[in-house]
Structure 1
Amino acid sequence: MSEPQPDDRTPAPSLSQTFADAARRAGIGQVTPGETPTAASLIRAIGGVRGLIESLLPGLAFLVIYTVTSDLTPSVLAPVIVAVGFIVVRAVTRSPVMPAVTGLLGVAISAALALFTGRAEDNFLPGLIINAVSIVVLLVSIIVRWPLIGIIVGLLTGDSTGWRSDRAKFRVVLVATWCWVGLFALRLGVEGPLYLTSQAAALGSVKLILGVPLYAAMLWVTWLLVRTAFGHGKSDADARS
């Protein structure tokens, strides 16, 4: 009879670990709470130089082509071609392709919707829906007293619930969550009327301005806010040890 073999299987990560890993891959996870955010960490948060190009170029392609030609088909297909090119470049350079695949999926859905309806402004409808859903999710998290930024920071610091009993930390993550509500509300408030009045070219311009630059600025503000409370708590703990 053969002896039982030891179980070499790695235990599956817990749900909280899975969420924490996802948060670290997101922009806010690029700086440890309590540390000073730097320009380099901000660039990493938006995917580095490559991520910045991949975020901006498809929208820029739509804007330039639609402004010059006012032709829907090439205007929405050009970003799809650009996004496919990003996947090819990543595959050739043996870089992770999932960020580019995700980008292609979003661009392709937007293009398909615009081609189906024949309305150039519908190329921006998925983004408007995402902004609206984001506002709802953030507001619900505030109403139930679990601000979403607090959940993310708690997972990153390994303190999934303790921050709720610390008044300073709770106040900071509450303010930070409201800031993100403001970001998505600003986008929706500016882009919504342009969509309703069928101003596709203006939508393309506004989305570029309120996209990556505003997102990066909000990440910076969030880091600074979180640092005021979580950095202070870290220093106190070190002083007591």
Structure 2
Amino acid sequence: MNRDNRRDTTGSQEAGESVSAAFAQAGSRLRRRDNGEVDVLHAVGGVRGIVEALLPGFLFLTVYLISHNLVLSLILAGAVTAVFALTRLFQRGSLMQALSGMAGLAICAIVALRSGNAADYYVPGLWINAAYALGITASILVHYPLLGFFYGFVRDELNTWRTDPARYRAYRRATWVLVAMFVVRLAVQVPLYLADNVAGLGVARLIMGVPLYAAVLWLTWMMTRKAANV
């Protein structure tokens, strides 16, 4: 084998390792239980992850509906988010995970404070849902449905699912379900935002957040099971 061929082979191996590492990191929360089904609770961060995801939004909504004080609502939601982040840091948890919640709340707070409208607290989330819907739809249109990569990695079929027509169709259908989740969120929440219905919007955001995501995760996993044991 000449030098150029050795270089090409090495480059391909490095690229393959990089892709595998990327999906390993991105899918680190996805794992299977002993019965072969996806561990939904682990995928959403466990009980602790659910509390960290829901409590700041619940606190913001509750305090605002009682006091109608936007600043107070943001301060209390921010305080509990900071406690969660600092606790993770002290426990030597993931720095990215600790700071992402604070960054997200800070963006929502800035948008709401600039307008003085509590409903605008939810605007960044609407844009994020739209971006995910478009991005995941694009993955389907270019014949690389996103769930094929994530579930394929967990099932050790990352390099085979695209060459198997049945597996490809299963992951394609499941990825459309994931797109539908984001579209449904927008279909429900955008009218509530336009109506300035803070209570309805806040409740919808809580219900259609982690709980809906967990349900869709389980459903799409079941949709993409092989006929035999996976």
Q: Normalised by the shorter chain, which TM-score bucket?
A: 0.7 to 0.9
In structure 1, the residue matched to 2:92 is 94
Q: 1:217 deviation in Å?
A: 0.5
In structure 2, the residue matched to 1:178 is 176
Query: What CA RMSD, in Å, does the superposition of the two structures yield over aligned residues?
Result: 2.2
Q: How many residues align?
A: 216
Q: Aligned to 1:25, what secondary structure does the other structure show?
A: coil
Kept in 2: contact 1:76–1:123 (CA 8 A): no
Q: 1:158 deviation in Å?
A: 4.8
Structure 1, gaps ≥5 residues long: 1-10, 235-241
Instruction: Provide closer, same or farther for how the CA distance between residues 176 and 199 of structure 1 changes in structure 2, counting only shifts above 3 A.
Output: same
1:68 aligns with 2:71: no
- With a CA cutoff of 8 Å and minimum separation of 6, indicate the structure with the bigger relative contact order: 1
Instruction: Provide closer, same or farther for how the CA distance between residues 157 and 86 of structure 1 changes in structure 2, counting only shifts above 3 A.
Output: same
- Of residues 213, 225, 228 in structure 2, which corresponds to 1:227? 225
2:31 and 2:123 map into 1 onto residues whose CA distance is 30
Identity %: 38
More off after superposition, 186-195 vs 138-147: 138-147
Kept in 1: contact 2:31–2:42 (CA 8 A): yes
Q: Scaled by the length of structure 2, what TM-score is found?
A: 0.86
1:204 and 1:191 map into 2 onto residues whose CA distance is 9
Q: 1:161 deviation in Å?
A: 4.4
1:21 aligns with 2:19: no
Q: 1:112 deviation in Å?
A: 1.0
1:56 and 1:205 map into 2 onto residues whose CA distance is 11
* Deviation sequence 1:80-106 (CA, Å, 0-9, x none): 111101122223333334323111111
In structure 2, the residue matched to 1:30 is 31
Kept in 1: contact 2:85–2:101 (CA 8 A): no
1:71 and 1:189 map into 2 onto residues whose CA distance is 28
- Of residues 185, 188, 191 in structure 2, which corresponds to 1:190? 188
1:81 aligns with 2:79: yes
Matches within 5 A, 1:1-241: 14-26=17-29, 29-31=30-32, 35-37=36-38, 41-228=39-226, 232=228
2:207 and 2:229 map into 1 onto residues whose CA distance is 36
* Runs of 4+ more than 4 Å apart: none
Structure 2, gaps ≥5 residues long: 1-13
1:70 and 1:21 map into 2 onto residues whose CA distance is 44
